[in-house]
Amino acid sequence: MRVLDAPLCYNVPMQIDEKVSFIKKWLGTGSINIFGLPYAGKDTHGGYLAGLLDASLLGGGDILRNSKIPSHVQKIIDSGGLAPTEDYVRIVLPYLSDGKFKDRPLVLSSVGRWHGEEDGVIAAAEQSGHPLKAVIYLHITIQTANERFKKSKQNGDRGNRADDDHDKLIVRFSEFAEKTLPVIDYYRQKQILLDIDGNPPVDEVRKVIVDQLYELALQSRSE
């Protein structure tokens, strides 16, 4: 499971140090949730943010894949579908309260991908001491997702995931459009959503993420 219990080391340009410091003070022990199509860069940018903000990175999918779950749920996940809400809430959300994450922020990778789970995620985050402060939507084109999928398969950099083949990728695209885009709209209405273009090179996307988090922090602190 990709859980970062110690900060990663990155070469951070000096000009963003002040912004990062401000974001960290605003975030406290709160959480940031990241959504996007498969291969949008959720774990890539989530890992970067976790290192930058001295946070732990938690992926809802990773928690499920590394938990003992009912066979019917496993079949759904392996086919590219989303776990039923009842099972998802029971398995994933209590993990936010694990003592190992106490007194530090969390970066969440797609926690609560089915419309209707949002209130449960917000409540679990609040109760665990990691109130949800921002939601990032890394939007990419289907073409970009497919190109990254092919490159990833060539590099073999995602391990042996049962849902990583072309047919199941199509299912995952459909699940995202039907079930997760309404989640993103929900957070947009809450005015905590940051729309980020995930198509450009990694360094460009990272800069925009930091800039937009800084602007949200400024706005929140002034209210």
Residue 3 lies in a domain: no
What are the tens digits of pLDDT across the range 123-166?
A: 999 999 999 999 999 999 999 999 998 888 787 665 555 555 67
Residue 65 lies in a domain: yes
Q: Domain containing 61: what range?
A: 14-222
As for how many domains the chain has, the answer is 1
Residue 173 lies in a domain: yes
Residue 7 lies in a domain: no
Report how far apart, in Å, the C-alpha atoms of 122 and of each of 50, 108, 212 are: 19, 12, 21
Residue 32 lies in a domain: yes
- Tell me the helix, strand and coil percentages in the chain, rounded to 5: 55, 10, 35
Question: CA torsion angle for 173, 175, 181, 182 (degrees, to 10)?
Answer: 170
Residue 8 lies in a domain: no
Q: Is the pLDDT of residue 4 over 70?
A: no
User: Exposure pattern of 124-148 as b/e (b: 16+ CB <10 Å)?
Assistant: bbeebbbebbbbbbbbbeeebbbeb
Residue 101 lies in a domain: yes
User: What was the pLDDT predicted at 208?
Assistant: 96
**Neighbour tally for 157: CB within 10 Å:** 8
pTM: 0.84
Residue 2 lies in a domain: no
**Neighbour tally for 76: CB within 10 Å:** 18
41-60: average pLDDT: 93
**Neighbour tally for 208: CB within 10 Å:** 15
- Judge contact between 33 and 131, C-beta under 8 A: no
CATH assignment at residue 143 = 3.40.50.300
What are the tens digits of pLDDT across the range 62-121?
A: 888 777 888 888 888 888 888 888 888 888 898 899 999 999 999 999 999 999 999 999
